[in-house]
């Protein structure tokens, strides 16, 4: 596939944005600037960015607890995301959702779910709407290797297949669910092998390679828009950091070796994309560095925005419960 | 006015709403052939795209309805209360919570029609009356019609409501006939029953009975029978439990001084418990006697007809409760 | 495989027992002798009987709403089963369970579940106990083609596989869930094709052939006892009667053709087994007929037993709620 | 007596019970490495067969625990309240119903340990306090410890109990220190807290506060503070909600004439509602003032620390409720 220069640079920009957002989150979280947990996406940027690069604003995504990468990859705003982590009124959810529940309905980000597997049927529903209405939008569901064992996945893939829905299931196989290796919990070698049980294509992709993720997703999106039904894509990737901030009990190296971590870090998705971009003459090292620097700046501004945004007022507590309001008991 | 059977009232509401708005569609198990009776004639009129037979995957298709509703559809999902356990995660984690969690961005006009089969030998796995659990969890409107007209009017309101609704369809009423006004006789040419407005089913002065779903008919019978003994019993049907019209009930208790609640749910943490607690807090000074809850016994629903009826509230138990409250 | 004469005749006896039990149930139900619903197993007898013939009394089974065949196949008593349908104290569950909830804990029948898919994790648990205790018993879960789409199946098969448990999943594919064809709801051609998604053997068996069912199950049981883990067996079969008694709305022929029904009726599992038995010289036509007649008699006696058994007393309502009783609120 | 942290009390109970009975085993997500803290040191002592890390499949392994319990094991399952929605079908359709449905043949000694994270910015998906729903459905014992000693003693009772139990572990107490008696100082050399026996936490004469789980500490603080103002508040901890010791509460209200209930669950159909309704029915003539429920607001748990604390009962709200009841 021949990828547009702009798209490559957009991917690079978004990947840097995620990386720098997450680095900042780790910094301000350890400085105690906000309290809730957060699950860094560092190391996995190519999966969400490659996948979302194949989508339009009118397409939908739904995600999970490891939640900052998906919305940024879909074009979400870092200022509203950061303000949400800070629990401020200018956050995406006015501070009500926090790290695990970013959403931006203006650009098809249906929201991240803290209950694993639980957003996948919801994504199926968006695709169902496309099918009923005869419209061309598609839907994309992110879930982890751990969540792939949830019953919700089985039901969702089966529904999508029998109804021939325009949805792409993206398994982010970072090989662990917290401390548990996927080899110990997934009965089959690759999650993507399960696609055959639903009569849909199952594609195993190098999740460190944004271009590979883009190409696989673009082709699945093409199928979906053409009415050829769902696909399952597994991006094989790795979480460079620990499972979550604020879950202090799990020490690095306790469930995976330093050697394994080091080896995977050598396959940093940003290095891989930059190498491709530079070697193909799409941009220079300096231009790549400038993109990185620009995102550092944006993240910095976003953090200032978050810090300066006010907290909600106690009287806001009852807002947003109901669309057609009722008296509170 | 036409005499209409409860289950036909459901069918009328669905057809009218599907005609009115092409974003309304319906999904469920074996609905195309209307196995449970409420979805007759839908397939022929609205076609396969809008009348979906689902695989046995409640969690999956409950969630699919949510997703569709988020992007502009208005799904109606047919199920049974007892199958809702399988799909509980989608109902609670997504339907109930999404809007608030996303700061108001998500709007979910999805309706679950949950039949409550009980009283007919369906045993423990098919006889749930689970609305109290959905009262506990904020985010879902809880609708409990007690007659064909309300069934129709409340279901139509549910379809138009922008929040998730569960309409609990009391199976003991499935064959009930009642007057459902013809559309042409109504203002606006249709029957809409708004949420949060209790109905005064009988007026009375000696005691108030609040009935829930099938409990309303029991309460009305008790009122009629006790009238013969010169006891004047007011009967109130809340019609929706979320939102809840506590004012009508508090006013009634102010008048009568006595409260009995009849609720087919299990009695612990039931709708009856909640209503009793509201009155014990906000209507305490009106009360002249202990509140009486008459709800289902805290056992599962036994299959045998020799035991099953003893679980539920009935005219006898409610009459005894009214008399207890009058004597104390 | 060489099957023991006694085992063949035991299978024949149990199949006739189920057939005659179900015929009686249909008769007395339509005469209004009891009120609850019931789901006849007629046409599918070979599946449960063949499968259970491979088990010992110390092995466990769990089943579903189509619930009379499994316990009889496992060696359960027809008198207690019939009394249960009549809602009497001498029923298996003292009248509290009814048709859909037969169980006999004395011979490993853990119970039938009216919620579809829901007994399968329970069966996995019995197998887990065998694995933890290092004992040799196995567990067997019956479920329909419709139920195979439940998330519970996915989770159960995956758990059984990663824990290498001694369990056999038996899909009774009678091709319909009430009125819905399995081709419209199962995304793959055969339910047994899904075994590969759990790294276990998936075996498609002629469900009208009790011997084939026995052989497939016996070999899966052998694997399980040897510590080689779970198997999925799909018995392709057909429900000769309507979905359930007392579900009057669905008229015969509305969702399947008379021709289809007639064709399947030609493959009556009793004819097939008797043909095998007689042609192999295991027994004569007369001996087979005598077995049939004997079961008719037993079912007759069971029905008398049920009719004569008293109903529970209202005061029995609160019994059996708790093992360690508490005050009722 | 040793000062023990709540989470350590859980660990002690598990270790003691696993040593006592080899049929006891434990399963859950990431328990071998004790991610949530309560399962430390189990793997090394009891090995992989009895300490099982599960796939993310709550419905599957909740059910597997049930099946294992039916055939002689005594599983302990670690989970969070918020993940229980995913496995609700196994909890309700199987754990709660099997025994009765099978006429007493099934015995299910299975324990679910459900952490309730709330109050720490975990937001709507991780902050459930769902015990009222399990009170509504008969068949499961509902345990709500409020301090380390009860936590240990009630969990040990749960493991030995022959019915399914859910132990709701209040996350606001995870770091709480309290006195847990040493085994050698106890009769029978171990700490067992029986079900269905409320504890009198403070004695008093002017008002009764019933506290549920974390609500007990709030109630005790209120009692201590109001003592300075000369107001004598009795505090009762039911310790288990199913079974429920209503006698201790009714006796207390008979003495004080006033009742406040503080319950971290959502207030509609809460444990507070149920307790209020019991007293409004059975203790009515003792009451000298309206019952006051102080439970969580009927909204989801917001993430931001600017809003979250406003949802829950606290010392201020409970104090105000006590004063309201004394003034009326
Ligand atoms: C239903 C449910 N069960 C358990 C959890 C707790 N939990 C949060 S993240 C996590 C691991 C998820 O693993 P995976 O799906 O592979 O995603 P990853 O964290 O690796 O991105 C677990 C067990 C949860 N949030 N929801
Ligand atoms: C969770 C759940 N959903 C729906 C039902 C209603 N129901 C009862 S039987 C049935 C069809 C089952 O089909 P299948 O699993 O193929 O078994 P069969 O009846 O064909 O033997 C349905 C939908 C149920 N009992 N449980
Ligand atoms: Mg993972
Ligand atoms: Mg079938």
D126 is catalytic: yes
User: Ligand 1: which of D33, D35, D56 to mutate, judged by most atoms within 8 Å of the beta carbon?
Assistant: D56
> What's the pLDDT at C252?
55
> What's the pLDDT at A252?
55
Tokens 């316990």 belong to residue: C71
Residue C166 has pLDDT above 80, yes or no: yes
Mean pLDDT of A83-99: 98
ipTM: 0.98
Contact D100, B124 (CB under 8 A): yes
Q: In whole angstroms, give the CA distance from residue A30 to residue A15.
A: 23
Residue nearest (by alpha carbon) to ligand 1 atom 12 = A177
Interface residue C67 vs chain D (CB under 8 A): no
Q: How confident is the model at residue C329 (pLDDT cuts 50, 70, 90)?
A: confident
> What's the pLDDT at A36?
84
What is the percentage of chain C residues whose pLDDT exceeds 70? 98
> What's the pLDDT at D36?
85
Tokens 């810090």 belong to residue: A307
> What's the pLDDT at C35?
84
Mean pLDDT of C253-267: 92
Contact B197, B245 (CB under 8 A): yes
D2-189 and D199-327, same CATH topology: yes
The CB-side HSE value for B264 (13 A sphere, CA atoms) comes to 30
Q: From the alpha carbon of A118, which atom of ligand 1 is closest?
A: 1
Query: End-to-end distance of chain B based on CA atoms, in angstroms?
Result: 43
How many CB atoms lie under 10 A from the CB of residue A134? 8
List the 187-246 stretch of A: residues with Cβ below 8 A of C. Answer: 187-189, 193-194, 196-200
φ, ψ of residue A103 to 5 degrees: the values are -160, 150
> What's the pLDDT at A316?
97
> What's the pLDDT at A247?
63
Which chain A residue lies closest to B240 (C-alpha atoms)? A326
Mark yes or no for CB contact B303/C255 under 8 Å: no
Q: Which CATH number fits domain A5-309: 3.40.30.10, 3.40.50.300, 3.40.50.970, 3.40.50.620?
A: 3.40.50.970
The tokens of C138 are what? Answer: 């196995």
**pLDDT: is D86 or A247 the higher one?**
D86
The 3-state DSSP class for residue A145 equals coil
Give C312's DSSP letter: P
C-alpha separations of C276 from C20, C210, C288 in Å: 20, 10, 11
CATH 3.30.70.1520 fits D199-327, yes or no: no
> What's the pLDDT at B2?
78
How many angstroms separate the alpha carbon of residue B251 from the centre of ligand 4?
Answer: 54
Residue A304 has pLDDT above 60, yes or no: yes
C115 lines ligand 2 (CB under 6 A): yes
Residue A1 has pLDDT above 70, yes or no: no
Instruction: Report residues of chain D scoring pLDDT below 70.
Output: 1
Per-residue pLDDT tens over the stretch C239-259: 999 999 976 555 555 899 999
Residue A68 has pLDDT above 60, yes or no: yes
Tokens 């013809």 belong to residue: B182
Contact D260, D317 (CB under 8 A): no
Tens place of pLDDT per residue across chain B (328 aa): 679 999 999 999 999 999 999 999 999 999 999 988 899 999 999 999 999 999 999 999 999 999 999 999 999 999 999 999 999 999 999 999 999 999 999 999 999 999 999 999 999 999 999 999 999 999 999 999 999 999 999 999 999 999 999 999 999 999 999 999 999 999 999 999 999 999 999 999 999 999 999 999 999 999 999 999 999 999 999 999 999 999 999 999 999 999 999 999 999 999 999 999 999 999 999 999 999 999 999 999 999 999 999 999 999 999 999 999 999 8
> What's the pLDDT at D207?
98
The tokens of B127 are what? Answer: 């006889």
- Residues of chain A found within 8 Å of residue C151, distances taken between Cβ atoms: 150-155
Q: How many CB pairs under 8 A join A and D?
A: 139
Per-residue pLDDT tens over the stretch C97-155: 999 999 999 999 999 999 999 999 999 999 999 999 999 999 999 999 999 999 999 99
C174 lines ligand 2 (CB under 6 A): yes
pTM over 0.90: yes
Least confident of A242-256, B207-221, C291-305: A242-256
Which chain A residue lies closest to C152 (C-alpha atoms)? A151
Among C105, C162, C321, beta carbon nearest to D55: C162
Q: In whole angstroms, give the CA distance from residue C110 to residue C102.
A: 9
Q: In whole angstroms, give the CA distance from residue A179 to residue C143.
A: 34
C193 preceded by cis ω (within 30°)?
no
- Percent helix / strand / coil, chain C, rounded to 5: 50, 10, 40
Chains that contact B by 3+ CB pairs under 8 Å? A, C, D
- Report domain extents, chain A: 5-309
What is the percentage of chain A residues whose pLDDT exceeds 70? 98
Query: End-to-end distance of chain C based on CA atoms, in angstroms?
Result: 58
Q: In whole angstroms, give the CA distance from residue D233 to residue A103.
A: 47
CATH 3.40.50.970 fits D2-189, yes or no: yes
Residue A308 has pLDDT above 60, yes or no: yes
Residues 6+ apart with CB under 8 A from D7: D37, D38, D174, D175
β pairing state of D177-180 and D2-5: antiparallel
Q: In whole angstroms, give the CA distance from residue C124 to residue D52.
A: 14
Q: In whole angstroms, give the CA distance from residue A95 to residue B101.
A: 9
Interface residue A177 vs chain C (CB under 8 A): no
The CB-side HSE value for D255 (13 A sphere, CA atoms) comes to 16
C146 lines ligand 2 (CB under 6 A): yes
- Residues of chain D found within 8 Å of residue B277, distances taken between Cβ atoms: 272-274, 276-277, 280, 291, 293
Residue C273 has pLDDT above 60, yes or no: yes
Q: How confident is the model at residue C328 (pLDDT cuts 50, 70, 90)?
A: confident
Among B121, B123, B304, beta carbon nearest to C114: B123
Interface residue A186 vs chain C (CB under 8 A): yes
How many angstroms separate the alpha carbon of residue C278 from the centre of ligand 1?
Answer: 58
Q: Which element (helix H / strand E) includes B143?
A: strand B141-143
């Amino acid at each position: 596939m021949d990828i547009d220069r702009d798209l490559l640079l957009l991917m690079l920009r978004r990947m840097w944005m995620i990386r720098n957002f997450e680095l900042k989150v780790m910094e301000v979280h350890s400085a105690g600037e906000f309290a809730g947990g957060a699950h860094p996406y560092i190391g996995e940027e190519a999966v969400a960015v490659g996948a979302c690069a194949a989508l339009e604003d009118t397409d939908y995504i739904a995600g999970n607890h490891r939640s900052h990468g998906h919305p940024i990859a879909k074009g979400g705003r870092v200022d509203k995301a950061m303000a949400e982590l800070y629990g401020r009124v200018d956050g995406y959810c006015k501070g009500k959702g926090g790290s695990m529940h970013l959403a931006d309905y203006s650009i098809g980000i249906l929201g991240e779910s803290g209950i694993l597997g639980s957003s996948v049927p919801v994504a199926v529903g968006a695709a169902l709407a496309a099918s009923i209405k005869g419209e061309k939008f598609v839907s994309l569901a992110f879930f982890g290797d751990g969540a792939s064992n949830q019953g919700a996945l089985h039901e969702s893939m089966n529904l999508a297949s029998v109804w021939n829905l325009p949805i792409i299931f993206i398994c982010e196989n970072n090989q662990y669910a917290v401390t548990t290796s996927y080899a110990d919990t997934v009965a089959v070698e690759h999650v993507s092998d399960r696609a055959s049980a639903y009569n849909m294509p199952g594609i195993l992709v190098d999740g460190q390679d944004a271009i590979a993720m883009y190409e696989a997703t673009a082709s699945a999106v093409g199928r979906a828009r053409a009415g050829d039904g769902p696909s399952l894509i597994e991006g094989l990737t790795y979480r460079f950091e620990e499972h979550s901030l604020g879950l202090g009990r799990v020490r690095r190296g306790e469930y995976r070796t330093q050697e394994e971590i080091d080896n995977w870090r050598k396959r940093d998705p940003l290095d891989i994309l930059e190498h491709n971009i530079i070697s193909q003459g799409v941009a220079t090292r300096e231009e790549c560095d400038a993109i990185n620097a620009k995102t550092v700046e944006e993240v910095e501004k976003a953090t200032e925005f978050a810090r300066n945004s006010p907290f909600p007022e106690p009287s806001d507590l009852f807002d947003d419960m109901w669309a057609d309001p009722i008296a509170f008991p | 006015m036409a005499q209409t059977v409860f289950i036909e009232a459901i069918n009328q509401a669905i057809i009218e709403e599907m005609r009115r708005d092409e974003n309304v569609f319906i999904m469920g198990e074996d609905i195309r052939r209307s196995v449970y009776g409420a979805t007759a004639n839908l397939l022929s009129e609205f076609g396969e795209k809008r009348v979906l037979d689902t695989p046995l995957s409640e969690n999956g298709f409950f969630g699919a309805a949510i997703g569709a509703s988020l992007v502009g559809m208005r799904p109606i999902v047919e199920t049974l209360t007892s199958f809702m356990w399988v799909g509980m995660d989608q109902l609670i984690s997504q339907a109930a919570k999404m809007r608030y969690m996303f700061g108001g961005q998500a709007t979910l006009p999805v309706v679950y029609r949950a039949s409550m089969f009980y009283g007919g030998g369906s045993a423990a796995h098919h006889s749930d009356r689970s609305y109290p659990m959905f009262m506990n969890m904020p985010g879902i409107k809880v609708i409990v019609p007690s007659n064909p007209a309300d069934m129709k009017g409340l279901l139509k309101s549910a379809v138009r409501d922008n929040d998730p609704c569960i309409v609990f369809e009391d199976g003991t009423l499935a064959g009930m006939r009642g007057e459902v006004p013809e559309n042409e006789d109504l203002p606006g040419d249709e029957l809409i029953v708004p949420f949060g407005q209790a109905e005064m089913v009988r007026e009375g002065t000696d005691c108030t009975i609040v009935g829930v779903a099938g409990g309303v008919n029991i309460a009305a019978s008790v009122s009629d029978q006790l009238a013969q003994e010169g006891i004047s019993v007011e009967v109130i049907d809340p019609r929706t439990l979320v939102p809840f019209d506590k004012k009508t009930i508090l006013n009634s208790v102010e008048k009568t001084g006595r409260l009995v609640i009849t609720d087919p749910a299990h009695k612990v943490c039931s709708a009856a418990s909640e209503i009793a607690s509201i009155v014990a807090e906000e209507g305490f000074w009106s009360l002249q006697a202990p509140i009486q809850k008459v709800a289902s016994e805290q056992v599962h629903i036994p299959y045998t007809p020799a035991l099953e009826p003893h679980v539920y509230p009935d005219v006898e138990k409610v009459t005894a409760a009214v008399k207890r409250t009058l004597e104390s």
